[in-house]
Amino acid sequence: MIMITACDRLLKTFNMRSTPPRQEILFLFLKKNYALSHGDIEKEIRSNLDRVTLYRTLKTFLDKGVIHKVLDDEGTLKYALCNEACSETGHHHDHVHFKCISCGQTNCLNIELPGIKLPKGYSVNEINVLIQGICERCSENSVR
């Protein structure tokens, strides 16, 4: 299967052993191309993958720079695939996330954030920008 090969290759680039849960979870991210919550993943994945394995796999992916956290307006933590710039030494992207109020999907938008100057004494750890609106697909659908 082509997708599994792609997963294997991706795992190899990150120096990770290829295991069925890793393959399966990574496969989901590649297939869905929008941010997924724990619940989304649990719903999609075959039932014999337990919560602990899922939790651990996501943690490993986060640490290795495969996926990053996406904060949603509902307060649910979601995850999305990183770009090539990320590795276990750190994540390198302060991009914008877009939540569609029509389909409810959250996507990474590849637009760079304008430099934000903080007052003296403040330092940035993480930046989360969430824009809400109608996504490309939904606006196309409403025109037809």
Q: Residue numbers of the site for Zn ion (CB under 5 A)?
A: 68, 80, 82, 86, 91, 100, 102-103, 108, 135, 138
- Radius of gyration (Cα) for the chain, nearest Å? 16
- Give whichever of 11 and 82 is closer to Zn ion, judged by the CB atom: 82
- Cα–Cα dist 68/20, whole Å: 21
Considering the complex, what minimum distance in angstroms separates the CB of residue 48 from Zn ion? 29
Considering the complex, what minimum distance in angstroms separates the CB of residue 103 from Zn ion? 3
- Give whichever of 49 and 87 is closer to Zn ion, judged by the CB atom: 87
Considering the complex, what minimum distance in angstroms separates the CB of residue 31 from Zn ion? 17
- Cα–Cα dist 47/137, whole Å: 31
- Give whichever of 20 and 59 is closer to Zn ion, judged by the CB atom: 59
In order of 44, 46, 99, 129, 135, the CA distances from 102 in angstroms are 21, 28, 9, 19, 8
